[in-house]
Amino acid sequence: MKLFSFLKKREKKLDPVITIQDAFLSNYKKLLDELANDNIGWKKPFGVKKFESFILAKFITDYSFNTLYVEDLDKDQIDGYQKLCDSTFIIQHDILFNGILKYTDMESIINEKIENYKNLRKENRPPECWHIIFSLLTNNPSYEKAQKEVEDNKSTLELVKSNKKFKNLIKKSEQKLLFSENLLQSYVSIEVTFPRIIRQSKAIFKKINTKKIKAAVKKLEKAEKKKDKKK
């Protein structure tokens, strides 16, 4: 009896709003940790990486939930999740960027980026979809071009090392090869990182109390109406 009681406690479902927030913020932190790494091949200011990782986290969060529950929940629950997640995203956006970037000013840009990610995932199978998204996000050459650059740079280095006339080009060629190898390794890392984050996100969403989504939406809508009246 004690064993069954313990299992029941572990299976307790969690509040939808809290679960969505936990999943989203967890995805954001993991993506930023990965993409802000100097070895990842993304030469942009940290603020840009924060913003782009934040948007990508929204796509990953929605993708994780929808692929997990699309066949198990009715349309109202799916739409309800979307409303709750959108609300969480907007609130966290304005908290994180603290007035520097207001959601209302960035909404069209954010929506366009998320829609692009959705289409790229829909039109391409893993790991190609993750390669393309990474290339688009970081403005790096495609995975195929990155592979070719490594081979070309290896050939160039072999050539300059074999001819004493090119001795002064060895260091530069070595640097170019190292850069191209690091970029290719970034693609390898990304094709592991994205699916791992999605799996971890789904693990969080398995704990969500889907039966309380509609009630949580009603509560949110009530709060929004109160805000509108005060304006």
> What is the Cα–Cα distance from 152 to 132, expressed in whole angstroms?
21
Indicate if the pLDDT at residue 7 is higher than 60.
Answer: no
Average pLDDT over every residue of 8-12: 63
Amino acid 6: pLDDT: 52
The strand pairing partners of 14, in sequence order, are 208
Domain edges within the chain: 15-36+44-139+195-209
Indicate if the pLDDT at residue 9 is higher than 70.
Answer: no
Residue with tokens 């509609």: 214
Non-local CB neighbours of 101 within 8 Å, separated by 6+ positions: 51, 93
Q: What is the pLDDT of residues 157-214, one digit of tens each?
A: 999 999 888 889 999 999 999 999 999 999 999 999 999 999 999 999 999 999 999 9
Average pLDDT over every residue of 119-138: 96
List of long-range contacts for 151-160, beta carbons under 8 Å, 24+ apart = 153/177, 153/180
Q: What is the pLDDT of residues 83-114, one digit of tens each?
A: 999 999 999 999 999 878 899 999 999 999 99
Average pLDDT over every residue of 19-44: 93
Contact call for residues 15 and 211 (beta carbons, < 8 A): no
Amino acid 5: pLDDT: 53
Residue 70's alpha-carbon distances to 66, 77, 83, 183, in angstroms, are 5, 10, 15, 35
Amino acid 104: pLDDT: 93
Q: What is the pLDDT of residues 50-66, one digit of tens each?
A: 999 999 999 999 999 99
- The amino acid present at 82, given as its one-letter code, is Q
Degrees to nearest 5, angle at CA 208 with 215 and 75: 55
Asked whether the CA dihedral 101, 23, 33, 139 is positive or negative, the reply is negative
Average pLDDT over every residue of 26-32: 97
Tell me the three-class secondary structure of the chain, residue by residue.
CHHHHHHHHHCCCECHHHHHHHHHHHHHHHHHHHHCCHHHCCCCCHHHHHHHHHHHHHHHHHHHHHHHHCCCCCHHHHHHHHHHHHHHHHHHHHHHHCCCCCHHHHHHHHHHHHHHHHHHHHHCCCCHHHHHHHHHHHCCCCHHHHHHHHHHHHHHHHHHHHCHHHHHHHHHHHHHHHHHHHHHHHHHHHHHHHHHHHHHHHHHHCCECHHHHHHHHHHHHHHHHHHHHHC
